[in-house]
Amino acid sequence: AAKKAGRNNFSEYESCLEKDMLSKITMYEEIKNAIQEEQFELYYQPKHSVKDENIVGAEALIRWQHPEKGFISPGEFIPLAEDTDLIIPLGNWVIRKAFRQYKEWNTISPIDFHLSINISPKQFIDDNFIPFLLRSVEEFSVSPEKIDLEITESLAIENTELTLEKINQLKKIGFKITMDDFGTGYTSLTYLSKFPLDRIKIDQSFIRDITSNKNHAAIVQSLVSVAKNLDIKVTAEGVETKEQLLYLQEWDCDEIQGYYYSKPIPSISFGEYHLENMKIYLMT
Ligand code: C2E
Ligand code: MG
Ligand code: MG
Ligand code: MG
């Protein structure tokens, strides 16, 4: 009986694997199709200065509205796009879309903030990445100084030398570089001195409980101070409460991003949000 149960379990496991494979293959085809059918959209989440609460940046975050399945989160399809080569066309689509949007906002009223774009490791080390970026800044007359590329620790760990070379090239052109989700990987502090970063974005898993978890509070506070001494700006990600903001203010963190100010919103609402904030700024 045990043997039989075992075999049953195995075939259940097998068919589970098959289903998993099948759904991955389907998803692959669907992402490919969705790029052509323009099912993707970019949302934007504002970043605010801790000092005066002005908008200092916006992060572009991809959204997929599937015609039958509805909303699919990037946490689901980005990893699959990364496993396959689809992240290259998808990543290129994001860059062009974000630049076009930036140009549009800039036409309405001159933009004083930077635009952050998430770059996957595979995309970042691809030989065509920098040439593509250069063509795109030209096409949409975007100044590279206003573009902040968010990379992750895993990229730096697996391809240290190549990453350093690419960062140097990008910095020479004028692009800004942010290390996203900082603190979640195995990055040691030496990376902070090895890479010429403009900012680090402290991961939300640390920010979430800074007001209740003394260890996380200590880590965040120390990261801010180390980064400051290296002339690296610090963004706190996932700030949801006033209390968290007050802690970060006290520690002299530079920028915050999170639901406390705004969730990621469609480009049109972001344009309004920005204008609204400018008005407040001009009035005070
Ligand atoms: P990320 O770059 O670390 O983005 C931050 C995530 O945290 C976003 O999730 C954002 O909506 C969410 N978030 C922001 N503030 C708060 C908050 O106060 N509370 C909570 N609970 N969450 C908050 P999202 O948009 O689902 O994106 C997830 C991840 O997918 C991103 O993490 C990024 O790694 C990836 N991703 C999104 N768009 C792109 C893209 O265009 N290209 C690439 N390569 N990856 C992307
Ligand atoms: Mg990011
Ligand atoms: Mg992040
Ligand atoms: Mg992330």
Residue type, 210: I
- pLDDT reported for residue 31: 92
CA-nearest residue for atom 10, ligand 1, is: 264
Number of H helices, E strands in the chain: 12, 10
| Structure token pair of residue 138 | 């030209």
pLDDT in tens, 18-36: 777 778 888 889 999 999 9
Residue 243 CA, ligand 3 centroid: distance in Å: 21
For residue 2, name the pLDDT band (cuts at 50, 70, 90): very low
On the question of pLDDT at 282 being above 70, the answer is: no
Which uninterrupted H or E stretch holds 257?
A: strand 255-257
What is the number of the ligand closest to the CA of 44? 1
Residue among 118, 120, 180 to mutate when testing ligand 1 (max atoms within 8 A of CB)? 118
25 or 10, greater pLDDT: 25
Which ligand neighbours the alpha carbon of 263 most closely? Answer: 1
> Alpha helices, DSSP H only, in 46-159?
74-83, 87-108, 121-125, 129-139, 153-158
Sign of dihedral through CA atoms 135, 140, 145, 150?
A: negative
Give, as residue ranges, everything with CB less than 5 Å from ion ligand 4: 181
Rounded to the nearest 10 degrees, what angle do helices 87-108 and 267-283 cross at?
40
The per-residue pLDDT for range 238-267, each reduced to its tens digit, is 999 999 999 999 999 999 999 999 999 999
* Residue whose CA lies nearest to ligand 1 atom number 7: 238
Q: Which atom of ligand 1 is nearest to the CA of 201?
A: 3
Q: pLDDT grade, residue 15 (50/70/90)?
A: confident
| Cβ of 152 below 6 Å from ligand 1 | no
Residue 75 CA: which ligand is closest?
1
Q: Is the CB of 61 under 6 A from ligand 1?
A: yes
Contacts of 165 (CB under 8 A, 6+ apart): none
Give the pLDDT confidence of 44-90 residue by residue, as tens digits.
999 999 999 899 999 999 999 999 999 999 999 999 999 989 999 99
227 CB near ligand 1 (under 6 Å): no
Residue 217 CB burial class (10 angstroms; 0-12, 13-18, ≥19): middle
pLDDT of residue 187: 64
Model confidence at 178: pLDDT above 90: yes
Contact between 192 and 227 under an 8 Å Cβ cutoff? The reply is: yes
Looking at residue 261, its pLDDT comes to 96
* ipTM of the prediction: 0.98
* Ligand 1 atom nearest 42 alpha carbon: 41
Give the ranges where 127-266 is alpha helix by DSSP (H).
129-139, 153-158, 160-173, 190-194, 204-207, 214-229, 242-250
Write out pLDDT tens, residues 90-148: 999 999 999 999 999 988 888 889 999 999 999 999 999 999 999 999 999 999 999 99
Greatest alpha-carbon pair distance for the chain in Å reads 79
Q: How far apart are CA 107 and CA 271, in angstroms?
A: 11
C-alpha to C-alpha distances, 148 to 37, 179, 216, nearest whole angstrom: 28, 10, 26
What pLDDT does 248 receive?
97
pLDDT tens column, 188-238? 687 888 899 999 999 999 999 999 999 999 999 999 999 999 999 999 999
* Whether the CB of 258 sits within 6 Å of ligand 1: yes
Separation CA 200–CA 151 (nearest Å) = 10
> From atom 2 of ligand 1, which residue's Cα is the shortest distance away?
118
Per-residue CA distances from 262 to 185, 233, 241, 247, 266 (Å): 27, 21, 11, 19, 11
